[in-house]
Amino acid sequence: MVTARARDEGQAFPIYVVAVTGLLFAAFAFVVVGMAGATRSDAQGAADAAALAAAQEARDNAFEGMNLLTLTQGDWEEILRGGRLVAVGACAKADTFAAMNDATATCEPNTPEFTVSVTTIGTVGDSVIPGSEAIHGKAEATAVIEPRCSLKPGATPTPSPKPSPKPSSTPPPGGGDAGTPPSVEFRCKGGVALTFDPTKPGSMTQLARKLFSVRLTD
């Protein structure tokens, strides 16, 4: 009887070892899945930051190189539609933000949208799953520049009163008298009214941030 019990225990031991080994492997595999998820999350965070940085750079420089004193109402309408946005420097900004998040980036500008694909420099790391040390996190994000304002409907800007010493048959730039462009009136989201005087522009970056918002697309 003792011999039979010992024989049963001897037969059960290998099964026990296999079961414990399987459980340990499953536990390690679960850890690897978590590491892979973290790496993927890092990649997505880097992609989001890089895409937003690219779009914000383009938005902040929306008026770069423009002569505000010559802009007509039609020009302003085109600007608000995003027709004058340029991508110069935007992808470089995306590269910088990706590097700050330990990743490399590929930027595709298609204003007003910027799509950025990133690959993490780090990997999942060594694990019980072969090849995990060579797996990098990859992700993609798209940010879009959207208008927050429109020209105030039915409002014709009135130029500053300034008599011209010499009458001219040629209309002044921007539609103002004596070459003085009129103020531009906007209606922004939330019912906010905004008036801009091209002769006293102030910070053009701040104006761009009032006129345009940047967000990640779904």
> Encoding tokens for residue 33?
């899945």
Question: How confident is the model at residue 73, as a pLDDT?
Answer: 87
Cross-strand bridge partners of residue 42 = none
Greater confidence, 1 or 103?
103
Question: How confident is the model at residue 156, as a pLDDT?
Answer: 43
Secondary structure of residue 121 in the 3-state scheme: strand
Secondary structure of residue 158 in the 3-state scheme: coil
- Please state the domain count of the chain: 1
Domain limits for position 46: 2-216
pLDDT at 26 over 70: no
> Quick one: average pLDDT of 108-125?
87
pLDDT at 13 over 50: yes
pLDDT at 15 over 50: yes
What's the chain's average pLDDT? 77
Question: How confident is the model at residue 40, as a pLDDT?
Answer: 80
Confidence of residue 65 (pLDDT cuts 50, 70, 90): confident
Tens digits of residue pLDDT in 141-198: 999 999 999 998 654 444 444 444 454 444 444 444 445 567 899 999 988 999 999 9
Cα–Cα distance between 173 and 183 in angstroms, integer? 13
Name the most confidently modeled range: 99-108, 123-132, 163-172: 99-108
Question: Containing H/E element for 78?
Answer: helix 73-80
Cα–Cα distance between 29 and 130 in angstroms, integer? 11
Q: Are 28 and 127 in contact (CB under 8 A)?
A: yes
Question: How confident is the model at residue 38, as a pLDDT?
Answer: 66
> Quick one: average pLDDT of 87-108?
94
